[in-house]
Amino acid sequence: MRSAWLRLATCVLVASFCSACSLGEGEGQIASNKLQVTGCWDGQFQLGPDFFAAVPYLRTLSVRIQHGGDTEEVSDGAIVLVDNIDKVRDVLSTNPNATFRVAQPPSVVPPGFPIVPDPDPAIVHLTLYLHHACHAQNSALYSVDGNITFHAIFDGDLNETNAAEKLTDAEFSDIVVGDPRDRVAGGDTITNLSHLWGHFKFYFQRGQPAQPFP
């Protein structure tokens, strides 16, 4: 049951990495002073990403930041899902350093827990996965709270030729992540929470080969 829910939650957060997936040269880091993954990790963590990919779908954008160029299922990395590119870009047009709340979608809950409506749901979600480091465990952690600052975001046009419109540039100082299944009985409190900081900056490049960048 736990693994089935994990696959469902990953599908909701990640959307679809399909033929539209494109790699871009970039820079970034995701780190924690104390990352907690039950049965696998308990201490300092630095991802050291060298693989950056973007997937526009309708008006959403999935950003994949990963160490190494293998498939997600055998790699360590993070996925940032933006539900509404246009909303972020509209805010950026008047505030070039706009901050957005980061959390899990209200519809992503473990079995047995009710869906609680959120009148103002977060439009940005983050999933950290350690499928290489923790291949024997359920190794995905999901954002439950925090903020991310966007300086730029790709406009989602696969045929875009203007470099400025293909840039995604963001940073965050404290995004709280955890496993939503680790809830205190009878409540909404999640145990074993970790705090992440990081940044990423890269240009969308359609048709780049699937390989990491130094």
The CA distance from 114 to 6, in Å, is: 17
Q: In which band, very low, low, confident or very high, does the pLDDT at 205 lie, cut at 50, 70 and 90?
A: confident
Q: Is residue 158 part of a domain?
A: yes
- Enclosing domain of residue 170: 2-17+25-203
Query: DSSP states of 35-67 as a string?
Result: EEETTTEEEEEE----EEEEEEETTEEEEEEEE
Q: How many domains does the chain have?
A: 1
Q: What angle do CA 138, 140, 145 make, to 5 degrees?
A: 140
**Comparison of pLDDT for 105 and 56, the residue scoring more:** 56
Is the pLDDT assigned to residue 81 strictly greater than 80? yes
**Comparison of pLDDT for 206 and 4, the residue scoring more:** 206
Q: What percent of the chain has pLDDT over 90?
A: 60
Q: Is residue 35 part of a domain?
A: yes
Which residue intervals of the chain are DSSP H helices?
2-14, 85-92
Q: Is residue 171 part of a domain?
A: yes
Mean pLDDT for the stretch of residues 202-209: 76
pLDDT at 10: 44
The CA distance from 203 to 169, in Å, is: 9
Q: Is residue 214 part of a domain?
A: no
Cβ contacts of residue 43 below 8 Å, gap of 6+? 34, 35
165 DSSP 8-state letter? G
Mean predicted lDDT score pLDDT of the chain: 83
Greatest mean pLDDT among 17-21, 167-171, 183-187 lies in 167-171
Q: Is residue 193 part of a domain?
A: yes
Mean pLDDT for the stretch of residues 29-55: 94
Q: Is residue 124 part of a domain?
A: yes
Which stretches does DSSP call E strand in the chain? 22-23, 26-37, 41-46, 51-57, 60-67, 76-82, 98-101, 124-130, 140-152, 167-178, 194-203
The CA distance from 162 to 72, in Å, is: 29
Mean pLDDT for the stretch of residues 70-98: 95
Q: Is residue 78 part of a domain?
A: yes
Is the pLDDT assigned to residue 213 strictly greater than 70? no
pLDDT at 6: 45
Q: Is residue 114 part of a domain?
A: yes
